[in-house]
Structures are given as structure tokens and as C-alpha cells.
Amino acid sequence: MYDVIIIGGGPGGYNAAIRAGQLGLSVAVIEGAQHLGGTCLNVGCMPAKSLLHASELYEMARTEFASFGIAVEPRLDLARMMAQKTEAVAKLVKGVEFLFRKNKVEWVRGWGRLDGESRVRVTGSTGEISVIEGRNIVLATGSRPSTLPGVCVDHRNIVTSTEALSFTQVPDRLIVIGAGVVGLEMGSIWCRLGSEVTVLEYADTILPGTDREIARTLERSLRKQGLNIRLGVRVASATPSDGAAVVTIEADSGVEAEKLMADKVLVAVGRRAFTDGLGLEVVGIVPDARGAIPHDGHYRTSAPGVWVIGDVTHGAMLAHKAEEEAIECIEIIAGKVSVSDDSDIPVVVYTRPELAAIGASEEELTAAGIDFRVGRFQFMANSRARINHETDGLVKMLVDTASDRILGIHMVGPQVGEMIAEARMALTFAATAEDVARTIHPHPTRSEALRQAAMDSAGWAMQA
């Protein structure tokens, strides 16, 4: 009998396993896919970041190197770009296998199904069945891409992010349905590599839910780069047609019905918790209306001894959220007082410029009737950004008027994803804007923009 059985070897599952191993618990991870690492390592964060980086270098070589005095004529070798991505991912997957060995985690290969209290039935790749037992079972089965009614994903011309990470040719025309994080990242990659990209979004903003000013700033940058972003359009259908695809946009107030042709259509309208074949009914767990497995706030499901973390439960579908929940869940199982905190999850969009945000948006604070001040600092006035020719964007800090406590930090700018952990730290320690304004930030770094935004919230930004 194991102390912990984890179903799913993604960032939720593998981090839970490593922490369990560190705490001296006996632990097995059941993973049915060929490789450990889940969505994030195999068909999500990591391959996407690999192609974002490579395509950014290509785009810079094409359009910006000359301005730095570097004369080159770049040629795209897509096969090599894809191969380096695959090689990098393979090394990361091996890294997880190494960490399993180091922490005495057993990988049980196969698909797990709950089989009664403390029991999991595992079906291997050739159909062989075994049953393993554990005092605790952690469900970390992740998510799968969602689609829309009328949109027929054939995985050839109408695809999910998984296929769009491995196109063997640059599509002449790519339509992306959904201007969320995945849609904008994938649209950026293929736009840089030469596709004519149209992004269709039902909401009247990209990245719905993001601070409006920040979303609009990123939208302007992406449009300048050539992404054709159409907001407020409802896709009625997408169907394959003669080796291509047709997308129909529904007539709506002010918008006429329209048919658009593309070589590829990427459906990027979000993801759904994945619980197929998991046997939830065997232990009496009922998923919520969106298919996610609910928990009590401390990762306990309604079934005794069964826990849930990551994309398969509610909350943001992000790898670092899954990781945080994994640590907390295992520490609770091990009887420790967990001090993890997943209340404010940072969000990063790895476009160019990047977008990074944490805490409340201006719209949320206004709606809640909170009295707040705003500090802003444009990267145009940040010396490092100017030197690097990367001046698009700003840092925006929202501060409680009475207490000076920071309520939200929203940024668009060069590699602001690397700055958001500082923002998270500030929120974790309930920092005031003055705390940040009086913290030395090395010069010249982009992070000075954060300090200047904090100063600006009190009216004394010094470099603008």
C-alpha cells in the first residue's frame, strides 16, 4: 500500500510526487501517455515557448537586426526549428524522470481508474490490468482543449494547439478562434514565420478579464506586428473544405454574416477538465457544471482519501498554479501546516512585448467600489528598454488609497514575465507602494519601471 498514488504526470502530478518523495512518503505516479510532463512539457508551455523564442529571433533578424548594425538575410528552416523544439522538450522530460529516480517516485505506466476506496486499476498500453492501493489518491489528470458548437476539429485543417505546435509548413492563411493566451501566442508564432493571421474573438477585448488598458496596449502592439485582430465576432461554424477550411461568422448587430477561408484554423477557446475513464462515479465524485472536480478549499474531494489538484479542478489553468497546489496538497497529506498561497496567481502572456499581471484590475476595483490610486510608468522612459529598442508598453500599479497597499500590478513590456515574481512577492508580503518605491532596483534594468510606477502612484515618479 503506497502512502500516495497520483494519477497524472503533468506539473500537478510530478511536483506532488517529488514533494511526497522529499517528505519520505512512498509514492507512485500513474501516467498513461508515453512521456511524463503532461500538457505543459509535451504540448503546452514548453514547446510553445520554444517556438515563441525561435520565431522571435527570426523576426528580429528579418526586421530589427539591421537597426543594430547587423546585416543578415535570414532563411527559415522550419524542420530544424521544430527539431530543436522536440530535442529541448525531450531533455525536459528526461529531467522529470531523473527527479523521480532521485526522490524514489515509482512511475506506473498506464491509464488509472478509481476502483473503490484506496484502489486504482491501471490499464497498460497492451491492455494488461493491475490494481494498486494507496492511503491517499491525488487526481491530477489535467485538461483537454475545448471547442465550440459548429466547429468541427479534424486535427488536420481545423486544429488545436497541439497540432499548431507541429505544423510542417507555414500556413499561408491561419485563422485563430479565440484571443486568449494560447490564441495570441500561437498567432504570434505563425505571424512571425510568415502566415497571414486573423484572430477572431467574441468579446470586445483580447484576453477577456485582463485590465482593459493593459489588454489594449498589447492589442495595439500585436496589430502593428501584422496580426489582424477582429473583436466582437461570433464564429457560427468552421468546417474542412478541400484541404483548407471555411469559417462562418454569424451576423450580429453591426456585423454581416461572412465566410472566411484559411489553410488552417486553430481553435483556441479554452480547455476543459479531463476526467474521461477516471471512474469518478465509482467513488461518488460529481464534477461541476464545467466538468471540473470540486474540492473543499484544501484539495479534498467528496470521496474520503481522494484529493484533486491542477487543471482538473477549478481555478486558473496554469502550470505554476498546479505546482503550488501540488506542494500544498502533499504537505497537508503529510500532516504539515502548509504555508503555500495560491490566492493571487500571476498570469504571463509570452508575446512580444509580454504581458504579465497579478491582483485586481482597474475594472474590478471600480466595480467593488474600492478607493484606489494608479501609478503608471511607460517603457519609453526606461533607459534599458530604450537602449534595447523595446519601448512598447508600461507598468501600471493599483494602490489602495487609504493604506497604500498594492492591490494589482499589470504590465506590458519587454520580458515583463521575468518581473512578475517581484510583483507577486510584494503582494505576498502585503507591500505598500512606498515599500517598492524605496527598494533599490539596479540600473539599468527594466525592473526600474516597476519602482517608477510605485513612485508615480504617490506623484513622485522621477524619470518621467
Query: Cell for 100?
Result: 523521480
Asked if residue 134 binds ligand FAD (CB under 6 A), the reply is: no
State which residue, 19 or 451, has the beta carbon closest to ligand FAD: 19
Query: Cell for 269?
Result: 477557446
Phi and psi at residue 337, in whole multiples of 5°?
-85, 110
C-alpha–C-alpha distance, residues 176 and 34, integer Å: 29
Active site residue 443: yes
Is the distance from CB of 266 to CB of 164 less than 8 angstroms? yes
State which residue, 29 or 436, has the beta carbon closest to ligand FAD: 29
Asked if residue 311 binds ligand FAD (CB under 6 A), the reply is: yes
Considering only residues 30, 92, 137, 436, which one is a binding residue for ligand FAD as defined by CB under 6 A?
A: 30
CB of 8 to ligand FAD, least distance (A): 3
CB of 391 to ligand FAD, least distance (A): 24
Residue (of 359, 341, 429, 431) closest to 395 by Cα position: 359
C-alpha–C-alpha distance, residues 267 and 179, integer Å: 10
CB of 42 to ligand FAD, least distance (A): 7
The helix/strand/coil state of 214 is helix
Considering only residues 2, 4, 44, 207, which one is a binding residue for ligand FAD as defined by CB under 6 A?
A: 44
Cβ neighbors of 148 (< 8 A, separation 6 or more) are 177, 235, 267, 269
Residue (of 101, 139, 116) closest to 10 by Cα position: 139
Considering only residues 40, 132, 200, 245, which one is a binding residue for ligand FAD as defined by CB under 6 A?
A: 40
DSSP state of 152: -
Query: Cell for 370?
Result: 474600492
Residue type, position 83, single letter: A
Asked if residue 13 binds ligand FAD (CB under 6 A), the reply is: yes
C-alpha–C-alpha distance, residues 120 and 362, integer Å: 47
173 to 212: interface string for ligand FAD, x by CB under 6 A: ---------x------------------------------
Asked if residue 31 binds ligand FAD (CB under 6 A), the reply is: yes
Is the distance from CB of 74 to CB of 62 less than 8 angstroms? yes
226 to 265: interface string for ligand FAD, x by CB under 6 A: ----------------------------------------
- Integer angstrom CA distances of residue 168 from 77, 164, 264, 329: 10, 9, 12, 41
C-alpha–C-alpha distance, residues 260 and 154, integer Å: 18
Residue type, position 239, single letter: T
268 to 307: interface string for ligand FAD, x by CB under 6 A: ------x--xx-----------------------------
CB of 142 to ligand FAD, least distance (A): 2
C-alpha–C-alpha distance, residues 54 and 72, integer Å: 16
Q: How many chain residues are in contact with ligand FAD, going by CB under 6 A?
A: 36
Contacts with ligand FAD in 371-430 (CB under 6 A)? none
Contacts with ligand FAD in 47-86 (CB under 6 A)? 48
Asked if residue 139 binds ligand FAD (CB under 6 A), the reply is: no
C-alpha–C-alpha distance, residues 146 and 212, integer Å: 25
Asked if residue 12 binds ligand FAD (CB under 6 A), the reply is: yes
Contacts with ligand FAD in 333-352 (CB under 6 A)? 350
Q: Which residues lie near ligand FAD (CB under 6 A)?
A: 7-13, 30-33, 38-40, 44-45, 48, 111-112, 140-143, 161, 182, 274, 277-278, 310-311, 317-320, 322, 350
- Catalytic amino acids? 443
